[in-house]
Structure 1
Amino acid sequence: MSPVWYAARLGVRRGRTELRQTFTSGQDVFGYVLWTVLLMVPLFLAGDERLKGAGISAGAFMLPSMVGMTLAFTGMMTTAQLLATEREDGTLLRAKAVPHGMVGHLVGKIVMVSGTALVSMALPLVVGVFLVDGVARQGGGALLTLVWVVPLGLLATLPMGAVIGSLVDSPRTVGLLMLPVMGLIVVSGIYFPLSKLPEWLQIVGQVFPVYWLGLGLRAALLPAGAVAAEVGASWRYLETVGVLGAWAAAGLLLAPSVLRRMARRESGATMAERHRKAMQRVG
C-alpha cells in the first residue's frame, strides 16, 4: 500500500473516531436537537396555509427546502470553520509535520463533516415527516432521487468549504460570512417558492447550490403536483445535476491547489503571529 493511501485510510479511521465522539458528546447532541427544534418553528408558524395551485401546504414546501439548506451550509460552513480554527490553534501545522499528514487530516475532516451533515439533515426530516402531511410519500422514486442528490450536494459544498477555510484569516471571519448567508437563504427558495421573487433575484438564487439542493429534495419528497410552485413548473433534474456538478468540479479543481498553498504558508512563525494578534484583540 502506498504511503498516500495509508494516510487516507488513517484519515477515514480518524473521521469515524471524531464522529463517534461527536455523537456521544452531550453538548453536540444538544446542538443537533436544538437545530431540529429551530427548523420546526417555521413549519408550525406556516400552519396549514396552502400554496396556490401546488396542492401542498407551505410547511410541506419548506421542510425539504430547509433540509437541503442544512446539507449545503453544514457541508460548506462547517468545513470552512474547522479548517480556519485548526489553522489558528496549530492542528494543521502538526499534521503538516507528519509525512502525508495533511492527506490523512483532510480525509478525516471530510468523513466527519459528511457524517454530521447527514445527521443534521436526517433529524429534522424524520421529525418533520410526522408533523407535515404530504411529505415523503413517493416510495422508491424518492429514494432513487435522494441517492444522487445528497452525495452530489456534498460534493458541491465540501470542497468549496475547504477553499473558504483556506483563504480566511481566522474563524471569526467565517462567522462574519453568515451575514451574506442569511441573504442567500432569502433568494434560494427556502421559505417560499423562488418563482414568487422578481426575475433578477431568481437568477441570483439559481447561481448557488442551496436552491438546487432544495429543489432536488423537493422533487424527491413532494407529490408530483407540487411542481406547479417551481420555476417553469418543472423539477429540472438535468439543470440540478448540471449546476451542482459545476460547483463540485470547481471546488475539486480549486481546493487541492488552495490547500497546498495554505499548507506551505503554515509555520511556527505564522502561528505565533496569529496568537500575538489574538492577544492584542483580547487586550
Structure 2
Amino acid sequence: MNPRAAAVRAGLTRGRIEFRHNLGQAYGYVFFPTIALIVMYVLRDNTVPGTDFSLGDRAIPGILAMNLVFTGVMGLAVMLITEREDGTLLRAKATPNGVLGYLTGKVTSQAAMSIATMFIVLVPAALLFDGLRLDAVSPWLTLAWVLTLGLAATLPLGAIIGSLFTHPRNLRFATLLLMGLVAISGVFRPLDALPEWLRWVGQAFPLYWLGLGMRSAMLPDALASAEIDGSWQRLETICALGAWAVIGFAAAPAILRRMARRDSGTRARGARRAAHRERTGHRTG
C-alpha cells in the first residue's frame, strides 16, 4: 500500500477510536445552541420580514451551522494546542507521514463529533419548531452534501488556528472573530438588515454558505425569497464551500508540518512545565 494511503487509513481508524472515546464530552458543545433554541422558541411569533414565516423556525438551520463551525473549528484547535503541549504531535512528526495520519485522525474525530452534536440539537428543534421541512428524502440528501462540504471547508481552519496559537487561552481572539462572523452571516436574521459592505464580508466566509445550504435543505422553498438574490444559490454554495475546502486542505498540512518542525522535545517539555506551574498556581491561589 502507498505510504500516504496507509497513513490516511491509520488516521481514519484513530479518528473513529477518538470519537468513541470523546463522545461523552458532547454536552459541552450543545450548551450554547440549546440556549439559542430557547431564545428562538420565545421569539417564535416574530416573522421573517416580508413573509408570515416564523423567525425562530428560520433561525434553526443557522444555529445548527454555527454549532458545526464552533464544534469543528474550535474543538480541533484546542486539541491541537493541547497535544502540542503534551508531545503527541512531536511523536507523530517522528514517524513517516505521521503528520498526515495525525491530521486525518483529528479531522475525522472532530467531524464525527460535529455531526453528533448537530443531531443532539436537531431532535428537540424538530419537536419544538413545526416549520422545518424534514419529512421527505430530498431535504436529507441536500443536508448530506451540505454537511460534507461544510465540514470540509471549515475543519482545516481549526487545524490552522491550532497551529498558529500556542495556548488555549489565546483562542479567545479567534472565538471573538467567529462570534463576529456569526453576527454578519445571516444566522439569526436575513442579511438585508446589514449594510451592503458587511453583507459582502459575511459572504466571503464559509459560515454564511453553510447556513444558507442548511436553510435550503430544511426550510420551504418559498422562504428563499428572503435570501440574497431571492434564491438558495445552491451552485454558488457548492463553489464557495468547495473553494474553502481546497484551500484549507492544501494549507493546513503545510502549516501543521512547519509548526511541527519548529517544535522540539525541549520546547514541549518547557510548555508542559509552564502549564503545570500555571495549574499549580491556580490551585494554591
TM value normalised by structure 1 = 0.91
Deviation at 1:91, TM superposition (A): 1.4
CA shift in 2, pair 1:75/1:32, >3 Å: closer
Partner of 1:132: 129
1:267 is displaced (CA, Å) by: 0.9
Separation of aligned partners in 1, 2:160 and 2:143: 26
User: What do residues 225-257 of structure 1 show as CA deviations (whole Å, max 9, x unaligned)?
Assistant: 111211121111121112111211111221121
Structure 1 residues 115 and 231, CA, compared in 2 at 3 Å: closer, same or farther? same
Matched-pair contact (CA < 8 Å) for 2:66–2:187: yes
Counterpart position of 1:161: 158
Show structure 1 runs of 5+ residues with no match: none
Task: For 1:76, give the aligned amino acid.
Answer: V
Aligned to 1:104: 101
Deviation at 1:47, TM superposition (A): 2.3
The counterpart of 1:269, out of the listed 266, 274, 277, is: 266
Find the aligned partners of 1:104 and 1:55 in 2 and give their Cα distance.
50
Partner SS for 1:177:
helix
Conserved 8 A contact 1:138-1:221: no
Which of 178, 196, 205 is the matching residue for 2:175? 178
CA drift at 1:36: 4.8
Could you tell me how far apart the structure 2 residues matched to 1:145 and 1:216 are? 8
Residue in structure 2 matched with residue 18 of structure 1 by the alignment: 18
Q: Report the equivalent of 1:40.
A: 37
Tell me which of 116, 123, 140 is aligned to 2:120.
123
Q: Would you say the 8 A contact 1:36–1:123 is kept in 2?
A: no
Secondary structure at 2:60 match in 1: helix
The root-mean-square deviation of aligned C-alpha atoms, in Å, is 2.0
**Contact 2:33-2:63 within 8 A present in 1 as well:** no
Quick check: 1:12–1:107 contact (8 Å CA) kept in 2?
Answer: yes
Secondary structure in 1 matching 2:99 = helix
Query: 1:89-118 CA deviation, whole Å, 9 max, x = no partner?
Result: 211112223343323322211111010010
How many residues are matched?
280
**Is the CA contact 2:62–2:188 (under 8 Å) kept in the aligned structure 1?**
yes
Amino acid at match of 1:265: R
Deviations 1:42-69 (A, max 9, x none): 2223122121323310111110111111
Q: Output the amino acid matched with 2:131.
A: G
In structure 2, the partner of 1:5 is 5
Paired letter, 1:83: L
Q: Aligned partners of 1:226 and 1:166: how far apart in 2? A: 40
Mapped pair 1:216 → 2:213 = yes
